[in-house]
Every structure is written in C-alpha cells, then in structure tokens.
Amino acid sequence: MGVFVLLPLLLPLTALPIARLAERHLHPRVATRLLSALAAVLAVCSTVCLGLLVVVGTVQLPGHPLPDAWTDREARTTAPYEEAAGKGAVVALLTVAVSWSTAARRHRRVRRQAEHALVGVPDGELAVLADEAAYAYALPGVRSRPPRAPSDRRRAWFSRRPVVRDGIAGGRIVVSTAMFACLDAGERAALVAHERAHLAGRHHRYLLVVRFAARANPLLMPLRSAVAYTTERWADEEAARVTGERRVVARAIGKAALVSRGTPTPTLAGFAAPGPVPRRVAALLEPAPSAVSWPPVFTAVGLAAWAAAAGTLGSALSSANATVTLFLVLKAGPL
C-alpha cells in the first residue's frame, strides 16, 4: 500500500480554495452540487483510509484480521505500519462512527418533533403554527413503505405522518404566525417561494451529505459551511425568479433575520438560516448570477475547481489502490 494510503486523510486540503471561491463566483446551484460531490467522495476515501490503517496497523493485537504469518515483522514489509498508527486509526474510526450515530439520532429526533408539532394542522403544503417565536423552514417528506396491517399503536403513529403522494410523502413549509406578522404580502410570497425551492431542490440531502462528511474528516468543515450558504442562495435565486422581485426577497430575508431563531437542526433549510445574511441580501441586489456548468479554466475559481477535482481523483485512486493491494495480500498471504 505504501504511503499513498495516508493521502486521503490530507487531500481534502485541495478543496479548501474552491469552498471559498465557489460561494462568490459560481451559481449557487452549481456550487452546491459541486461541493457536495467533492465532500462525499473525499469523506468516503478518508474513512476507507482509516479502515485500512486499522486492518494493517493492529496486526500485533489479539484478534487481528490478517493471517497469523503476518505477526512476523519481516513479513509485514509489504504494508509496513506501526502499531501506534493502527491504534490511532481505531480511535479515529470509532470517533467517526459515534459522531455519525449521534448526528443521525439527533436528526431523526428533530424530524419526529417537527412532525409531531404538525398534528392537528390542516393538510397542505403550507403549515402555519401559532407561536410567538419567529421561524420558517422546509420539512421534507419521507419515503413511504408498502402498506401492511398495522396494530392500533402503529395506526396511530402513521396517522401523524405527512400525506403520501406518488410514493413520497409531500414536504411541508412550516411558518410561525410571528414570522408572518413581520412580513407584508409580497414578502410572505417570497418566503413561501424560498421554502418551496428548498423542497423542490431537496436541499436537505446536500446538507446531510456535507454534515456527515465533515464529521468523517474535520478538514471538510469549510465545505459544510459553504454548502449551508449556497443552498440558501440557491433558494434565494429561485424565489427571486418566481416572484420577479429581487429587492422584495432581499427585504424579506433582512426582516426575517432580525427576528428569526433559525431552524431546529442545520439539516433543515430555513428562510433566515444562521450565516452571512448581509452577503445574501447584497447578492440579491445585484443581477442574477450566470448559470454556467463549469467555470473557465484560467480563472481563480476555475483553477481551484480543477485542483479540487484532481485532489478528489487522487484520493479515490489512492484509497482504491490501497484497498486492492491489501485484498491481494490477504488472499495470497505475505510474500
């Protein structure tokens, strides 16, 4: 495997320039998809790297997965790694697993609480809750399951789920009365259009991807912050396109930011999500961004994009090479 197995742990550094430049120079839709794809691939490669280090580095420990002949130090020269590296990789991999589990449980808990808050609210895309706290967010639907004969308890539980349409539960736009009270009619239309864009674009999936990626490798945290911003900008631009009033959308965002308490969880996109609201407002006061699919090569953002793509490709090749090498060594035994 060689030292190449360590590269996926460090190659996320190649994506840092594009994380900063994509926010300002790419269309929000393009930036969101690009950064999410980079984060996903780099996180998978980083996790595979940790797993390979665990396998090779713990050969001297009881119950190791390698053949018994590998306990001979001379035989381990095919993939030489110190025991300390293996133990460290075990701790890192367990930390990643615990972090993912914690994030998943919290996301499910918040989703259940948000859905429970809608009990008794009339069906429909827009759900207005009587609350003195100002908030607005998009609650995406969930994949439905084939119908079964449920027990009374399960029937009661399913009755609280959102209405299912075409196999996928329809999302809801959740807005408090306090939020509506601080907006005029045009700004309310901008708010609804913004949240509808979150649902249509399935922005919660991008937010979940980058959130779990950042927990796999802390070097990917800038990509998580960037995607949190670009998803909001994406919805801003869609709201401006639908309403035809960029200044009204900007004014609504500014008002909402002054009174909003944010969203229940970072993976639920909200109208006034925490972040650089002044930058969002300033972007809406300018002409709509160009929807190019890939930036020109000989520009700062173009070079950053190609550097990130090269780093991601290198990470994928390094992890694949190390995985295949270890598989062949385990199959054939030490030489």
Please write the tens of the pLDDT for every residue from 79-111.
Answer: 445 566 767 888 888 999 999 999 899 888 888
Q: For a pLDDT cut of 70, what percent of the chain falls above it?
A: 75
Contact present, 198 and 237 (Cβ < 8 Å): no
Mean pLDDT of 37-48: 94
Domain ranges across the chain: 2-332
> What are the residues whose beta carbons fall under 8 Å from the beta carbon of 195, sequence distance 6 or more?
136, 137, 138, 173, 175, 235, 269, 271
Mean pLDDT of 60-65: 57
Mean pLDDT of 27-45: 95
Please write the tens of the pLDDT for every residue from 168-214.
Answer: 346 889 898 989 998 999 999 999 999 999 999 999 999 999 999 99
Residue 258 pLDDT greater than 80, yes or no: yes
Residue 55 pLDDT greater than 50, yes or no: yes
Taken in order 134, 228, 231, 167, is the CA torsion positive or negative? negative
Distance, first Cα to last Cα, the chain: 14
Looking from the CA of 15 toward its CB, the CA atoms found within 13 Å total: 36
Q: pTM for the complete prediction?
A: 0.81
